[in-house]
């Protein structure tokens, strides 16, 4: 079967990870969540706030294992769950706007895509990390619906959350991600936009599978 890459970008809590995981499983591809990498660096920064970003990324021991989903290890410790906590979510967009952080992570991400067969989700995947991805999706949804989904997700993970705070956090992160100097969140010219507001997970997944099938054919 022809090997190809799928780039999925979009604002916070648009459902990218959920969908990317399902699409990868159905097509026998590898799913890569780049947000988790920025979150892991944010955790390292919060643990050592006095260390400058350049030193932090030089010394960081980050391991990403992509088998049956993604696990992320920081200095040998599995931090896949820890990086979903509120303190990380609050600080991640600031950390992700640092040039040295982006250079380090984009390098790792590009290496992962060379052999193809990757479904990668993030903010700059179709525009910057894999500009030649065979399929690019730009996934959006209303802020209200995104906050509702995040609330449900947090409840399931046992993380305390309130709807108003989640709305504010989503808007604040979108603003930072869309206005930062280096590789801001924008829709790639050749990306296909899917507004998932009011759509079920199954519907969104099927739409992307149909688009992918056109590439395979």
Stretch that binds ligand C5P, among 34-42, 148-156, 162-170, 191-199 (CB under 6 A): 34-42
Q: Supply the minimum distance, in Å, between the C-beta of residue 40 and ligand C5P.
A: 10
Q: Supply the minimum distance, in Å, between the C-beta of residue 195 and ligand C5P.
A: 18
Separation CA 30–CA 20 (nearest Å): 9
Q: Does 92 bind ligand C5P (CB under 6 A)?
A: yes
Separation CA 197–CA 193 (nearest Å): 12
What residues are paired with 98 via a beta bridge? none
Q: What share of the chain is helix, strand, coil (3-state, %, to 5)?
A: 55, 15, 30
Helices in the chain by DSSP H: which ranges?
Answer: 16-27, 34-47, 53-59, 86-96, 99-113, 143-157, 163-179, 201-216
- Of 21, 45, 104, 123, the one binding ligand C5P by CB under 6 A: 123
- Of 5, 34, 70, 113, the one binding ligand C5P by CB under 6 A: 34
For ligand C5P, the closer CB: 63 or 172: 172
Q: Does 38 bind ligand C5P (CB under 6 A)?
A: yes
For ligand C5P, the closer CB: 29 or 125: 125
Query: Which residues in the 159-178 window bind ligand C5P by CB under 6 A?
Result: 173, 177
Q: CB within 8 A of 18, min separation 6: which ones?
A: 201
Query: Beta 135-140 vs 192-195: how paired, if at all?
Result: parallel
Stretch that binds ligand C5P, among 18-26, 119-127, 133-141, 193-201 (CB under 6 A): 119-127
- Of 6, 7, 8, 12, the one binding ligand C5P by CB under 6 A: 12
Separation CA 107–CA 114 (nearest Å): 11
Q: Does 146 bind ligand C5P (CB under 6 A)?
A: no
Separation CA 82–CA 198 (nearest Å): 30
Q: Supply the minimum distance, in Å, between the C-beta of residue 182 and ligand C5P.
A: 9
Stretch that binds ligand C5P, among 31-39, 44-52, 140-148, 156-164 (CB under 6 A): 31-39
Q: Does 184 bind ligand C5P (CB under 6 A)?
A: no
CA 139 vs CA 4, 62, 130, 172, 191: distances in Å: 19, 28, 17, 18, 10
Interface ranges with ligand C5P (CB under 6 A) = 12, 34-35, 38-39, 92-93, 96, 122-125, 173, 177
């Amino acid at each position: 079967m022809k090997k190809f890459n799928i780039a999925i970008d979009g604002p916070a809590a648009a459902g990218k990870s959920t969908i990317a995981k399902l699409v990868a499983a159905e097509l026998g591809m590898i799913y890569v969540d780049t947000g988790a990498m920025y979150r892991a660096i944010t955790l390292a920064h919060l643990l050592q706030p006095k260390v400058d970003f350049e030193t932090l990324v030089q010394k960081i021991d980050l391991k990403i294992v992509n088998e049956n989903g993604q696990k992320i290890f920081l200095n040998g410790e599995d931090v896949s769950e820890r990086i979903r906590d509120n303190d990380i979510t609050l600080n991640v967009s600031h950390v992700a706007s640092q040039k040295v952080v982006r250079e380090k992570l984009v390098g790792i991400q590009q290496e992962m895509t060379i052999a193809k067969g990757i479904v990668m989700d993030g903010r700059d995947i179709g525009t910057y990390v894999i500009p030649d991805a065979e399929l690019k999706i730009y996934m959006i949804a209303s802020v209200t619906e995104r906050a509702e989904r995040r609330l449900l997700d947090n409840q399931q993970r046992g993380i305390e959350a309130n709807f108003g705070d989640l709305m504010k956090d989503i808007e604040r992160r979108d603003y930072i991600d869309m206005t930062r100097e280096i590789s801001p969140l924008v829709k790639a010219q050749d990306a296909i936009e899917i507004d998932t507001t009011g759509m079920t997970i199954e519907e969104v997944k099927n739409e992307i599978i149909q688009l992918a099938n056109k590439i395979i054919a």
